[in-house]
Amino acid sequence: MITTRFAPSPTGYLHIGGLRTALFSWLWARKNRGEFLLRIEDTDLSRNSDEALEAILKAFDWVGMSYDGDAIYQSKRFDIYKKYIDQLLEEGKAYKCYMSKDELTVLREEQMSKGERTRYDGRYRDFNGTPPEGVEPVIRIKAPQEGNIIFNDGVKGEITIASTEVDDFVIARTGGVPTYNFVVAIDDALMNLTDVIRGDDHLYNTPKQIVVYEALGFEIPNFYHVAMINNEQGKKLSKRDGATDVMEYKTLGYLPEALLNFLVRLGWSHGDQEIFSIDEMIELFEPKNINRSSSNYNLDKLLWLNAHYIKNMPNEQLAIRLKEYSIEVEGHDKLELLLDATKERGKTLVELASQINLIMNAPTEYNPKNVKKAFKGEAKNILADFAMMLKEWERPLHTPPEYHAVIDNFVKSKEIGFGKIGMPLRVSLLGSMTGSGLDEIMAIIGVEETISRIERAIEFVGSVTPTTNI
């Protein structure tokens, strides 16, 4: 059985890099009918925040990734870690180090000035004397002093790191609170993880964790280190790049299925395929197809995917999603028509919402530029005549083709080009020069509203246009 996990620390929001590794882990577990576990890394009591934790859980919920069982909180497992610390101490695989922070700083500065890698020098590794007074010790683990630590990374291949690069790192701070690399290794082992998929930035933690695995006799899982996601300039993602919080994408009008599809293709591929439903991702995902190089985050592609998912989403479903964007169209008698007429014109739900609002609400103002272009010349009279024709029209007016017939008839009887009525009518109805088809708009709002909007436009034109121009 495959067991994977996502292990965020509740110190900030969930960002897209984290979401992607979570996605990969989730897909891999689901594909193998294994388990995907959630573990909250909250051993740094001073940096945790409940809001951050809540935001992470909310983001998971929004994208629809479910974890198995209950989330595990490291802060509630200190007694377990304590037990292993004591065990290592007893077995002589760990020791108390009485070096003060000041002494450590001095050592580091010395090493840095010599251009060496900063590392603990092991001065208390075999200490038998009387401990200095007044110093609360930390616990350090005995790391191998020679040879190499070698592991096979599922993405990058065999990684060899010299043991001299790994010092006797602290596993318990003064006060006894255990540190990250120690608890990660213990929890990963205790949770029976088979595959650890995580960010590239953890690559150097792996040898440290292997030291713990070996000291405790745990079985080492498979590691997959996924390269980072950079911004469009190829630099590290930062707050300045916007939308670092996954939930920000919801605010911007992105569908979770588009975001996930975008992320799954960032660093992973299945031949030339671009569009993946969740089920397809689960079916096709293979960690061996994860790219070894880092990738740049590019909004164009996400936007294209989002537009794709909006266009292809059933209208009832779309109506439900739109509720989050202050659009209440569920149960509207022209729902199908309304969404068919607008959903190809919005790349995000926010844009789609504004398209819908344009149709559902009569324009309260007309852009001067549009007025100048669309309401010039005979426009006022033409609109008036068209409104008249609508009023006197005797055939039914419900569907777009039925409205089309009116326009058709109007243009022919007046012997004018479509342009003479098209743009003035559009601006009258929407206040905008672009948008859905006129036939559709009129069919959605109905004949009374159509006439009312035309009359308001005529009134407006009359108030600003010199009579000589009409």
Partner RNA sequence: GGCCCCUUCGUCUAGCGGUUAGGAUCCAUGGUUUUCAUCCAUGUUACAGGAGUUCGAGUCUCCUAGGGGUCACCA
**33 versus 272: smaller Cβ distance to RNA:** 272
Give the rounded distance of the alpha carbon of 167 from its chain centre.
37
When binding is defined by CB under 7 A, the residue of 222, 244, 269, 465 that contacts RNA is 269
Question: Is residue 122 within the footprint of RNA (CB under 7 A)?
Answer: no
When binding is defined by CB under 7 A, the residue of 194, 244, 295, 354 that contacts RNA is 295
What span, in angstroms and rounded, lies between the C-alpha atoms of 135 and 174? 9
**34 versus 75: smaller Cβ distance to RNA:** 75
When binding is defined by CB under 7 A, the residue of 124, 180, 285, 386 that contacts RNA is 180
Q: How would you class 95 by CB atoms within 10 Å of its CB: exposed for 0-12, middle for 13-18, buried for 19 or more? A: buried
Which residues in the 296-325 window bind RNA by CB under 7 A?
A: 296, 298, 300-301, 303-304, 307-308, 311
Is-contact 409 470, C-beta < 8 A?
no
When binding is defined by CB under 7 A, the residue of 64, 69, 132, 419 that contacts RNA is 419
Which residues in the 202-241 window bind RNA by CB under 7 A?
A: 202-205, 227-228, 230, 232, 234-236
What span, in angstroms and rounded, lies between the C-alpha atoms of 174 and 189? 25
Question: Is residue 196 within the footprint of RNA (CB under 7 A)?
Answer: no
Question: Is residue 187 within the footprint of RNA (CB under 7 A)?
Answer: no
**33 versus 133: smaller Cβ distance to RNA:** 133
**117 versus 330: smaller Cβ distance to RNA:** 117
What span, in angstroms and rounded, lies between the C-alpha atoms of 218 and 319? 51
Interface stretch with RNA, choices 330-338, 383-391, 431-439, 453-461 (CB under 7 A): 431-439
Shortest Å distance, C-beta 418 to RNA = 4
Question: Is residue 244 within the footprint of RNA (CB under 7 A)?
Answer: no
Q: How would you class 159 by CB atoms within 10 Å of its CB: exposed for 0-12, middle for 13-18, buried for 19 or more? A: middle
Which is it for strands 35-40 and 72-73: parallel, antiparallel or unpaired?
parallel
Residue linked to tokens 């199908």: 336
Is-contact 254 263, C-beta < 8 A?
no
What span, in angstroms and rounded, lies between the C-alpha atoms of 244 and 250? 12
Which residues in the 147-176 window bind RNA by CB under 7 A?
A: 156-157, 159-162, 165, 169-170, 173-175
The three-point CA angle 110-115-119 to 5° equals 60
Shortest Å distance, C-beta 192 to RNA = 20
When binding is defined by CB under 7 A, the residue of 344, 378, 402, 449 that contacts RNA is 344
Angstrom CA distances, 307 to 85, 252, 302, 310, stand at: 53, 13, 9, 5
Nearest to 306 by CA among 292, 288, 318, 320: 318
What span, in angstroms and rounded, lies between the C-alpha atoms of 191 and 4? 9
**92 versus 417: smaller Cβ distance to RNA:** 417
Question: Is residue 293 within the footprint of RNA (CB under 7 A)?
Answer: yes
* Number of residues in the chain: 470
Question: Is residue 462 within the footprint of RNA (CB under 7 A)?
Answer: no
Which residues in the 355-374 window bind RNA by CB under 7 A?
A: none
The three-point CA angle 212-214-218 to 5° equals 90
Angstrom CA distances, 379 to 423, 437, 443, stand at: 9, 19, 22
Which residues in the 387-416 window bind RNA by CB under 7 A?
A: 404, 407
Shortest Å distance, C-beta 360 to RNA = 17
What span, in angstroms and rounded, lies between the C-alpha atoms of 269 and 287? 10
Which is it for strands 138-141 and 94-97: parallel, antiparallel or unpaired?
antiparallel
Amino acid symbol at 345: R
Is-contact 17 59, C-beta < 8 A?
no
**291 versus 328: smaller Cβ distance to RNA:** 291
Question: Is residue 435 within the footprint of RNA (CB under 7 A)?
Answer: yes
Report the catalytic residues.
239
Is-contact 230 296, C-beta < 8 A?
yes
Q: Kindly state the number of chain residues that form the binding site for RNA, as judged by CB under 7 A.
A: 85
Shortest Å distance, C-beta 84 to RNA = 16
**263 versus 461: smaller Cβ distance to RNA:** 263
Shortest Å distance, C-beta 235 to RNA = 5
**37 versus 438: smaller Cβ distance to RNA:** 438
The three-point CA angle 336-341-342 to 5° equals 105
When binding is defined by CB under 7 A, the residue of 70, 272, 279, 333 that contacts RNA is 272
Question: Is residue 100 within the footprint of RNA (CB under 7 A)?
Answer: yes
In the three-class reduction of DSSP (H, G, I as helix; E, B as strand; rest coil), residue 77 is classed as coil
**15 versus 265: smaller Cβ distance to RNA:** 265
Question: Is residue 144 within the footprint of RNA (CB under 7 A)?
Answer: no
Which residues in the 35-94 window bind RNA by CB under 7 A?
A: 41-44, 47
Question: Is residue 113 within the footprint of RNA (CB under 7 A)?
Answer: no
